Structure 1
Amino acid sequence: MNIAAPNESTNLSPYLPDDHGLFFIYHFTADGLRTKDPAAARWTWRSYQITNMRARQEIGAEQALPAPVREAFLSPSHGCHIDFEDDWLYGDLPDLRHDFSEARGLTHFRFAFNDTTLIGARKQPLESVDKIRKAVESGSRKFPSPASLIEAVMGQSLDGMSGELDRMGDTLDGIEDRIVCDAWHNERQALVDARRHLVIIHRQMATLTNLFRHLDHSHRDDLPDPINDMATRLSHRARTLHHDGEQLQARTRLLQDELMAKLTEQSNQLLYILSVMTAVLLPMTIISGLFGMNVGGLPLVDTPFGFWVVTAISIVIAGIVYMVVRRLGRV
């Protein structure tokens, strides 16, 4: 069943799907270059919008796809996975949304391929897919097989996540400099945002590492050598990024601990000042309370300088208390 034939004569857009939910269809020769002649093609790449109903119907009716592959494509789940079935490698892997999309962040790229066909599907524009698409159109890179193109897409995705980790490292450098220079008062929210972003990327790297490990353990004897080699290379890169993410997360936790220590120190200083003020003012409060009672027999009531005498006594007592509290604070 050739589901791409109705679209080959139309002007497809890489960002807006046609009536069949198809973004583009590219044919490749044996040497890995794009050709506009389907008869000269060794393999084909089709890209769909997975939320388009026509696209879902056509993928569901694609008899060349094994039933588990079709079910994985049409599943509402957004969890990452990768598996091998009847010579088809298929999966759902993370990628970065394109810069011009509504919100920068991680989304998913679904794919399935064998020796002659690569089918991809996505919801939003993806940065890695778009970079590889531009390389295909310009002829700057050759893709002799679907496996080589998927490796390039995942390589671009890992490069993008590596760039995100580099930017987060620079952000943490700035936060650390300001904390060390005691200009940390506005860094609490920035540190929380940085850690939240790191958790998302680190979680995806951990997922990718586990997925490639599962693929190696479950299908090592079934996978063709090129796919085995591709999975090994991608697994190594994912493990490296996973390790880098762990280091950044550990660094973020240390910065949070240092920031909390400074907040605790500042709170302690404020509490110490309040304690000193309370201790200093306590004698004055007691004396003013005693002399404020409307009872007979109060001393110095008929003395012209009674107010000043009481004030002087209060100040002397407050000074003594202050010196005692300061001495105790230094012990």
Structure 2
Amino acid sequence: MSGFGFRITDGKAARIDVQDALGCTADLVWVHLSTTAEHAQTWLRDEAKLLDYVVDALTATETRPRCEAVGEGAFLNLRGRSKEELDTSDLLASVRIWAVKGRVFSVTRKPLIAVAEVEKMVERGEVRDPGDLIAAFATAITADLDPDVATLGDELDDCEEQLDANRVFELRRAVSKVRVAAIGYKRFLSPQRAALEKLAALPGDWLADDDRLHLAAAADRAARMAEELESIRERAALIHETLTDMRAEQIDSRSLIISIAAMVFLPLTFLTGLYGMNVKGLPYAEEPWAFDAIAAACVLIAVGVVAYFTMRHWFRR
């Protein structure tokens, strides 16, 4: 089982072993486990003496952002970007946090980018209590996600600038990729905002006023990103419809050209086919000028049909 621990006293942090963290006394003891092993559940229950409900929540396979008050503490599940490439249906990895006064347990199954940033904040002395630690997690996760959401918007802007009927398939793939990512992020950011707001409103002296303000700021940032993702999703849908319309117009235009060509050659085909029959009795078949007359008639018919279509503006796209 991999993980680490910190003991924080008067703002000074010292890294400790996970096993040694259980007997420590300090302003804050933070134990972080990064594992998918089943014995993590046994350790949390038998060694850390956590409630079965809390242990199950910390080690669950499927999770979504939520916050629940349990006794004198609170359980919080957040979602953030991972160092590993995840499935397109589940783009964000989870961190499960159990916090009480003076002690925090966190568990990740996938390497979370925000964990490294929180470690740096702890080592710099910016974390003094459980409220600071949870606020640090919320701030680090939203700060890491914000540029990614902005990038999705920029990619969609590029697609809008490059709208071209000749690049429909390429642009469709790009727009679909952005839309899938936006849907995947929004799926977790909306409940994440609600979880942070609920945590900020929980009673308890282990959450200071400044912690609640930081949580509210992180929730507001998550709400703004969720709104931006909804806007990206709607814009992607509109661009997709525009590309579909452009493709349909392109097909209609080409079909019109083919139809006009067919209309021009239809009477010519009839005339040449008629005089191409190997039968006797065709008018003027024996006359020496018959071929020239038929050729001239074909030219006149073709010019007449084209002139008619031009007058009716059929060649306009």
Q: In which range does the TM-score fall when normalised by the shorter chain?
A: 0.7 to 0.9
| Counterpart pick for 1:35 among 2, 7, 14 | 14
Which segment is superposed worse, 154-163 or 102-111? 102-111
When residues 191 and 296 of structure 1 are mapped into structure 2, their CA distance, relative to the original with a 3 A threshold, is same
RMSD of aligned Cα (Å): 2.7
Q: Which amino acid aligns with 1:29?
A: T
Kept in 2: contact 1:22–1:46 (CA 8 A) = no
Equivalence for 1:94: 79
Q: Deviations over 1:44-92 (max 9, x none)?
A: 1111134112222102325642332122123232333221101221132
Equivalent positions of 1:129-148 (< 5 A) are 129-136=115-122, 139-148=123-132
Equivalence for 2:105: 119
When residues 102 and 294 of structure 1 are mapped into structure 2, their CA distance, relative to the original with a 3 A threshold, is same
Which segment is superposed worse, 105-114 or 300-309? 300-309
Equivalence for 2:42: 57
Identity %: 20
Q: Separation in 2 of the partners of 1:116 and 1:45?
A: 9
Q: Separation in 1 of the partners of 2:207 and 2:141?
A: 23
SS of alignment partner, residue 10 of structure 2: coil
Equivalent positions of 1:107-256 (< 5 A) are 107-136=93-122, 139-179=123-163, 184-185=167-168, 186-212=170-196, 220=202, 225-226=207-208, 228-256=212-240
Q: Deviations over 1:128-173 (max 9, x none)?
A: 111222333xx33410112211211221111122111111122122
TM-score calculated relative to the size of structure 2: 0.84
When residues 284 and 141 of structure 1 are mapped into structure 2, their CA distance, relative to the original with a 3 A threshold, is farther
Q: Separation in 1 of the partners of 2:15 and 2:60?
A: 32
Equivalence for 1:310: 294
Q: Separation in 1 of the partners of 2:187 and 2:15?
A: 40
SS of alignment partner, residue 162 of structure 2: helix
Query: Is 1:84–2:69 an aligned residue pair?
Result: yes
Shift of 1:184: 4.1
TM-score calculated relative to the size of structure 1: 0.81
Kept in 2: contact 1:35–1:41 (CA 8 A) = no
Kept in 2: contact 1:175–1:187 (CA 8 A) = yes
Shift of 1:229: 4.2
Equivalence for 1:68: 53
Query: Is 1:291–2:275 an aligned residue pair?
Result: yes
Q: Deviations over 1:219-278 (max 9, x none)?
A: 745686536545433322221111222222233233223323322221221122112111
Q: Separation in 1 of the partners of 2:70 and 2:134?
A: 17
Which segment is superposed worse, 84-93 or 33-42? 33-42
Kept in 2: contact 1:49–1:55 (CA 8 A) = no
Q: Separation in 1 of the partners of 2:161 and 2:166?
A: 8
SS of alignment partner, residue 63 of structure 2: coil
Q: Which amino acid aligns with 1:308?
A: D
Q: Deviations over 1:186-240 (max 9, x none)?
A: 3221111111111111222222134345657xx7456865365454333222211
Query: Is 1:26–2:6 an aligned residue pair?
Result: yes
Equivalence for 1:270: 254
Between the two structures, name the one with larger relative contact order (CA 8 Å, sep ≥ 6).
2
Kept in 2: contact 1:72–1:91 (CA 8 A) = no
Q: Which amino acid aligns with 1:112?
A: W
Shift of 1:292: 3.1
SS of alignment partner, residue 61 of structure 1: helix
**Count of equivalent residues:** 303
Shift of 1:97: 0.6
Instruction: Flag structure 1 segments of 5+ consecutive residues without an equivalent.
Output: 1-20
When residues 211 and 311 of structure 1 are mapped into structure 2, their CA distance, relative to the original with a 3 A threshold, is farther
Kept in 1: contact 2:41–2:55 (CA 8 A) = no
Kept in 2: contact 1:60–1:74 (CA 8 A) = no
Q: Which amino acid aligns with 2:14?
A: T
Kept in 1: contact 2:182–2:229 (CA 8 A) = yes
Q: Separation in 1 of the partners of 2:174 and 2:14?
A: 49
Q: Separation in 1 of the partners of 2:104 and 2:299?
A: 88
When residues 304 and 128 of structure 1 are mapped into structure 2, their CA distance, relative to the original with a 3 A threshold, is same
Instruction: Flag structure 2 segments of 5+ consecutive residues without an equivalent.
Output: none
SS of alignment partner, residue 64 of structure 2: coil
Q: Separation in 2 of the partners of 1:123 and 1:197?
A: 21
Shift of 1:41: 2.6
